[in-house]
Structure formats: structure tokens, C-alpha cells
Amino acid sequence: MSLTPPTLPLAGKVSFEDVKDIFSIHLGENNLRRTPERYAILEEIYRRSDHFDAEALYIHMKNSNYRVSRATVYNTLELLVNCDLITKHQFGKNLTQYEKSYGFKQHDHLICVDCGKVIEFCDPRIQQIKSTMGEILNFKVLYHDLNLYGRCKDGCKSQSK
């Protein structure tokens, strides 16, 4: 069972330039404009760690280096999802959360129902489930979302989120 921390980039493979290039190409291929806002949002996301939601990203940008509108944030997040530079999740709440995904191992999430902490893990058996089920049900499985919900045996401080 692999326990390589999923958040560690694949060895020596990732630079922000790569990510920017991918986005650039994606924009070009879809006749979308290369605006400074779009690159600034991408850069902010790849500077951040962890999971974030649109509002948090908006506030963070507003308070720091760059000023963008909420509309642009939402718009850009969708573009980045489309070219697989970020992935979208919902950890049991009606709030969309994102995380950067280029150059990171595929992984799933374990969420503490007490404190909301999110832990990442890898288990190759999920790939087997995807291929078996795709075959049996005659689907091309594109992606998946697996969340385990539970309680920390050590006991967490039950701090809310």
C-alpha cells in the first residue's frame, strides 16, 4: 500500500511555468483571451496549498496583490477545471472546494465529521473499481470522487472546520 504523501509533487516534474503553459495552450485552443486576471488567479492557486473555495480565493486576492471580481474568479475556476489544472470537490456541504491538481498524485479524501479536517490518501483499488464498473456498465469513466467520513481515534479538538 502506497503511503507517499499525495500532496507532494511528482519528483522533479512541476514548475509554475509548466502550469502556465498548459493554461496558455488551453486558452489558445479554445479561442479564449489570455488576460492578466486569469494568470493571476492561476498563480495564486498554485502558490496556495490545501483546499480552498471560491470566496476564500477572492478574499485572499482582494487583500493582497491582485484585485479581481467574484465573477472573474468563478469564470476562471471553471476554465481551470476544464483543462485539469484544478479539481472540484464537495466535502458533504453545499460549498464547492477546489485543489490544484497538475503534477500531483491522484488521491482521495478522508474527512473528520467532528472538526472538518481533510486528510488525503491513495489506494490503487479505486482504479480497479473504476475499470471494472466501466466495463460492466458500459461507461467510459472519466473521473471520480471518493470521500470517507469518520472520526479521528486520537480525538480532535472538535474545532468547527
Give the contacts of 137 (CB within 8 A, at least 6 positions apart). none
Measure the CA–CA gap between 99 and 50, rounded to whole angstroms. Answer: 6
Residues 42-81 that bind DNA (CB under 7 A): 53-55, 67-72, 74-76
**From the CB of 42, what's the least distance to DNA, in Å?**
11
Among the listed residues 8, 25, 59, 129, the single contact to a second copy using CB under 8 A: 129
Measure the CA–CA gap between 72 and 15, rounded to whole angstroms. Answer: 24
Nearer to a second copy, 1 or 71 (CB): 1
Measure the CA–CA gap between 36 and 49, rounded to whole angstroms. Answer: 22
Which of the choices a second copy, DNA, none does residue 43 contact, using the CB cut-off of 5 to 8 A by kind? none
Nearer to DNA, 38 or 107 (CB): 38
Dihedral sign for Cα 131, 136, 138, 143, please: negative
Among the listed residues 13, 140, 157, 161, the single contact to a second copy using CB under 8 A: 140
Does the protein bind a second copy through residue 94 (CB under 8 A)? yes
Where residue 138 falls (left for φ over 0; alpha for ψ -120 to 50; beta otherwise) is: left
Measure the CA–CA gap between 64 and 59, rounded to whole angstroms. Answer: 9
* SS3 label, residue 96: coil
Residues found near DNA in the complex (CB under 7 A): 27, 31-38, 53-55, 67-72, 74-76, 94-96
Residues found near a second copy in the complex (CB under 8 A): 1, 3, 88, 90, 92, 94-96, 110, 112-113, 119, 121, 123, 125-126, 128-130, 132-134, 136-154
